[in-house]
Amino acid sequence: MIRWLYAFIDRPLDRFEESCAFWTAVTGTTLSAARGERGEFVTLLPQRAGGDAYLKLQGVGGGGAGGAHLDLGVDDYEPFRARAVASGAVVVDDHGGWVVLRSPGGQLFCVMPWDGGAERPEPDVGVRLDQVAIDLAPSVFDAEVEFWAGLTGWGSYRGALPEFHVVRPPAEAGLPVRILLQRLDEERPTSAHLDLACADVPATTALHLRLGAEEVRRERLWTVMRDPAGGTYCLTSRDPWTGTLPSAS
């Protein structure tokens, strides 16, 4: 039912140009023309021939460093929207032809009619932004796993660590992004960040540092980074072509 989807990089509107410069550089993309009343929406366009855009950047207000969310493009908009609400999502903002919803655990996402995206671009220089990670309090984790697995109809798998759960589209669907649900060790509001699969995490980290990012924390399988606008994201050692960890390749 989900024909295409976009990963949104949400960053403060007053750091929008800085965010655009950084994220186009690290994803090997160029910017579309700006859209919206304040020019707050841009699409990150693949530079290589072949492959459809699946990354967008939105300037947001309200303070904070911003996060991430998904836009789901579907064939049958009204039935899908109704199913999302029946599954526990709440309508936040109805724009007529598309809708902003909040999941039972508190994660914002959008549903819209499919706009034609069909071909996942190849990773640029061994790096692919391919995962939206939703960080969840223990009290909402199980319900959120059930919600996203049911809504998407994708495969639902335990992650490499007990606090992770992956909701992943079938390979034949050719969709560019999967969902990682992460159970935190404390009760706090739901948030989301982006993960990049990297063939060489140290080299990618060094590049991001040269472009203005900061290293926050280094773990065995991922490195937590902060971009120039203050938003956090992770560089993971997953294969950028398959999404698998080295031990599972």
| Cα separation, 150 vs 146, whole angstroms | 6
Q: What is the mean pLDDT of residues 217-243?
A: 95
State pLDDT tens for residues 5-17.
Answer: 999 999 999 999 9
Give the model's confidence band at 48: pLDDT under 50 very low, under 70 low, under 90 confident, else very high.
confident
**For residue 29, what are the β-bridge partners?**
46
| Residue spans of alpha helices (H) in the chain | 16-27, 77-86, 138-152, 201-210
With cut-offs at 50, 70 and 90, classify the pLDDT of residue 64: confident
Report the greatest alpha carbon distance in the chain: 47
pLDDT of residue 246: 83
Please give the pLDDT value at position 160. 85
Which range (126-135, 174-183, 219-228, 239-248) has the least confidence? Answer: 239-248
3-state secondary structure 115-140: CCCCCCCCCECCEEEEEEEEEECHHH
Token readout for 105 is 């655990």
Res 186 pLDDT > 60:
yes
What's the predicted TM-score (pTM) here?
A: 0.95
Given a cut of 60, whether residue 79 has pLDDT beyond it is yes
Evaluate if residue 119 carries a pLDDT over 80.
yes
Token digits for 185?
């060790």
202-218 tens-digit pLDDT: 999 999 999 999 999 99
Question: For the chain, what percent of residues have pLDDT higher than 70?
Answer: 98
Task: Give residue 49's pLDDT band: very low, low, confident or very high (50, 70, 90).
Answer: low
249 pLDDT band, cuts 50/70/90, is: very low
Confidence of residue 245 (pLDDT cuts 50, 70, 90): confident
Q: Which residue's entry shows tokens 């724009």?
A: 95
* % of the chain at pLDDT higher than 90: 90
pLDDT of 117 higher than 90: yes
Range 149-188 burial, b when 16+ CB lie within 10 A, else e: bebbebebeeeeeeeebbbbbeeeeebbbbbbbbbeeeee
Q: Give me Rg for the CA atoms of the chain.
A: 17
- pLDDT digits over 163-176, tens only? 999 999 999 999 99
Cα distance between residue 179 and residue 168, in whole Å: 6
DSSP letters, 51-70, are ----EEEEEE-SSS---EEE
Instruction: Report the pLDDT averaged over residues 37-65.
Output: 90
| Mean pLDDT to the nearest integer, 18-47 | 95
